[in-house]
Amino acid sequence: MEVRMDERKQSPIFARTSDFIIWLLDHTEKFPKSERFRMGKRIEDSVFSFYELLIEATRSTKRKRQLLIQADVELEKLRLYVRMSQQRRLTSLPQYRFAAGVLIEIGKLLGGWLKTVPEI
């Protein structure tokens, strides 16, 4: 119950990313063992790096724009890894469509946030 209240206080990008991380972790743990430590690890590392960059951006004043741009790059990597997992048949087409849709949504939220940060 406490987690839910916390998520409501968060901005939409944090709540959506947090939900997506939970979904991804449940999904990648079902990869075959050989892929769990290859493709699964790439996906998990990428999504956690993305989330960490978002956290850093909220705490930074001078580097906010730079951190959000780095987060955008990390999001592109994550899109690539998710697409590759579908191409390698580790992810079904419906799972891929779901993940791609969430990544598009998160990308729009990130883009909106980036537009509010002035260029220095």
Per the domain annotation, does 16 fall within a domain? Answer: yes
Among the listed ranges 4-13, 37-46, 80-89, which one has the minimum average pLDDT value? 4-13
What tens digit of pLDDT does each residue of 52-97 get? 999 999 999 899 999 999 999 999 999 999 999 999 999 999 999 9
1: pLDDT confidence band, cut at 50, 70 and 90? very low
Q: Domain for residue 120, yes or no?
A: no
Query: What whole-number distance in Å separates Cα of residue 89 and Cα of residue 91?
Result: 5
Number of compact structural domains in the chain: 1
| Domain annotation covers residue 88 | yes
- Whether the pLDDT of residue 3 is over 80: the answer is no
Residues contacting 99, CB < 8 A, separation 6+: 20, 23, 24, 27, 82, 91
Confidence of residue 7 (pLDDT cuts 50, 70, 90): very low
Range of the domain at 8: 2-115
